[in-house]
């Protein structure tokens, strides 16, 4: 199982990025969470099948139609995740 922490930069808040991420990750059977960060980014942890995680990372480079993604940072993580995928509170 692959597990990554992703930070998405650009115009990614107020454009339904978190809801879109929950839908996209759930469709791929991934576990983890997504949330807004006070600095204007969105961050997420994706855990699951290697190919599905990689596919989700690629989707984050596009985001929902109103988003304008400028950069996606990805790093491996050992952070534990619960079963399912959910929207976490903003930090």
Give the model confidence (pLDDT) of 3-42 as tens digits: 999 999 999 999 999 999 999 999 999 999 999 999 999 9
Mean pLDDT of the chain: 97
Q: What residue has token string 């204007």?
A: 40
Q: What is the pTM of this model?
A: 0.96
Q: Where in the sequence numbering do the catalytic residues fall?
A: 18, 36
Instruction: For strands 2-11 and 68-76, give the pairing.
Output: antiparallel
Q: What is the dihedral of CA 56, 51, 5, 81, to 10 degrees?
A: 100
Q: Locate the DSSP E strands across the chain.
A: 2-11, 31-36, 42-48, 68-76, 85-87
Cα–Cα nearest to 37, from 59, 6, 64 = 6
What confidence score (pLDDT) does residue 65 get?
A: 96
């Amino acid at each position: 199982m692959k597990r990554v922490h992703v930070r998405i930069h650009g115009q990614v808040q107020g454009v339904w990025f978190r809801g879109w991420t929950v839908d996209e990750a759930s469709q791929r059977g991934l576990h983890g969470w997504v949330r807004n960060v006070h600095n204007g980014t969105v961050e997420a942890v994706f855990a699951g099948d290697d190919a599905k995680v990689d596919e989700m990372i690629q989707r984050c480079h596009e985001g929902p139609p109103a988003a304008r993604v400028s950069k996606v940072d990805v790093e491996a993580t050992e952070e534990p995740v619960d079963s399912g995928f959910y929207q976490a509170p903003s930090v």
